[in-house]
Amino acid sequence: MADKTATLTFGDKSIELPIYSPTAGPDVIDISKLYGQGDVFTYDPGFTSTAACDSTITFIDGDKGELLHRGYPIDQLADSSHYLEVCYLLLYGELPSAAELEDFESRVTNHTMIHEQMMNLFRGFRRDAHPMAIMNGVVGAMSAFYHDSTDITDPWQREVASIRMIAKMPTIAAAAYKYTIGQPIVYPRNDLDYASNFLRMCFSVPCEDYQVNPILSRAMDRIFTLHADHEQNASTSTVRLASSSGANPFACIAAGIACLWGPAHGGANQACLEMLKEIGTVDRIPEFIARAKDKNDSYRLMGFGHRVYKNFDPRATVMKQSADEVLELLGVEDNPILQVAMELEKQALADPYFAEKKLFPNVDFYSGIILEAMGFPTSMFTPIFAVSRTVGWISQWKEMIGDPKMKIGRPRQLYKGATLRDYVDIEKR
């Protein structure tokens, strides 16, 4: 509850607003009564200074470059944990015991298949459809197949929907990929871990056995872990807002997928690789840095900058280590794309423009390099981000739905349109 207050004085009004103190981060001023008491709205397009909810799941300190999931720092989780254990932590709030983890992994593993009739959905898309378009459609369609886990007022159905989403996203993403390259869809295997299962569903073909490379599956698992959740980012806020109307979880996750697809958000990893390929050679880097700095050019360096991190993105640091390991394993250390990426990072970070605006590589800068080296096309980069972020969306969704204070989200506006005027018949216009 409030332990301090802020006084807002304007015109002949003076309004006391409660201030709440968090366990970490800035205090918040509760303005929920402002309109009722002062007949004014606050104005914050892009929500740069607005907390939309209280949460206990993830905390970011943008100045320190710190990312905590239920208090545990992301670099420790990336080094010592693995994706499904992080999923448990995000969903239930504590690290699991060995027995709890075994039960959770078993529940996820045994939900990885999708309803057989859903396989028909893939065939309705053109082969050149973007995998994100297919995922968006198929995930939304899940509400037509899993009616027994769409009643969000039933905690058991919320739990089943959560497990189903986390378990089936890799199967759907891999099936979307296989469909677009004209290869048969591969079913999940229960004897493989989450990341290995995904790699096999993407890269195995019926004509030969597929052996998962443990270094690649470890790198895949680390990419899943690094993208799992990130406070109230655009796609998570989309899932929360969609869910606040009581819509079913599958439809709300589909809304999150749609938002993530944008190049300013989860689509940045694909856009970053395409930018590196467009730059092509190290000698063209100054041309692109000049464009990014040019106020009259809307061009931005993809994979650089972040709304919250103003020092460095701790995920990028871990991702860069993985990039070195994977490229060394694959013998592509002299990958021309990586050479351009490393030189671009060096030149950008030495440039005052980027230092002043606190722009540096974010999580998307290195993830694309690893994924390309692993054999994924750029069109699969954002689907992989969506697979990983599903647990974040679901965890935030469960937190919101389970909050008795929850109400439908309905922002107001600063109206600048026409004021009242009478209709004019066409012959008088």
Q: What are the residue numbers of the active site?
A: 306, 364
Residue 364 binding ligand SDX, by CB under 6 A: yes
The nearer residue to ligand SDX, 257 or 359, going by C-beta atoms, is: 359
Residue 360 binding ligand SDX, by CB under 6 A: no
The nearer residue to ligand SDX, 213 or 347, going by C-beta atoms, is: 347
Min dist. Cβ of residue 363 to ligand SDX (A): 6
Ranked by CB distance to ligand SDX, the top (closest) residue is 305
Q: Which residues contact 103 (CB under 8 A, 6 or more apart)?
A: none
Residue 368 binding ligand SDX, by CB under 6 A: no
Residue 362 binding ligand SDX, by CB under 6 A: yes
**Interface with ligand SDX (CB under 6 A), residue from 107, 189, 218, 307:** 307
Q: What is the DSSP string of 250-300?
A: HHHHHHHHHHHTSTTTTTHHHHHHHHHHHH-SGGGHHHHHHHHH-TT----
Element (H, E) at 13: strand 13-20
Min dist. Cβ of residue 60 to ligand SDX (A): 7
Distance of CA 340 to the CA centre of its chain: 26
Question: Which whole-number Å values give the CA distances from 318 to 75, 184, 324, 341, 411, in the listed order?
Answer: 7, 34, 10, 16, 37
CA 21/CA 308 separation, integer angstroms? 19
The nearer residue to ligand SDX, 271 or 338, going by C-beta atoms, is: 271
CA 183/CA 204 separation, integer angstroms? 10
The nearer residue to ligand SDX, 33 or 357, going by C-beta atoms, is: 357
**Interface with ligand SDX (CB under 6 A), residue from 161, 223, 253, 302:** 302
**Interface with ligand SDX (CB under 6 A), residue from 303, 314, 368, 383:** 303
Burial, 21: exposed, middle or buried (Cβ in 10 Å; 0-12, 13-18, 19+)?
exposed
User: 303: helix, coil or strand?
Assistant: coil
β-pairing verdict for 58-61 and 28-29: unpaired
- Is residue 30 within 8 Å of 17, Cβ to Cβ? yes
Residue 310 binding ligand SDX, by CB under 6 A: no
Site string for ligand SDX, 392-421 (x = CB under 6 A): ------------------------------
The nearer residue to ligand SDX, 348 or 374, going by C-beta atoms, is: 348
CA 211/CA 203 separation, integer angstroms? 10
**Interface with ligand SDX (CB under 6 A), residue from 218, 300, 310, 320:** 300
Please give the residue ranges that form the binding site for ligand SDX (CB under 6 A).
230, 233, 264-266, 268, 292, 300-308, 357, 359, 362-364
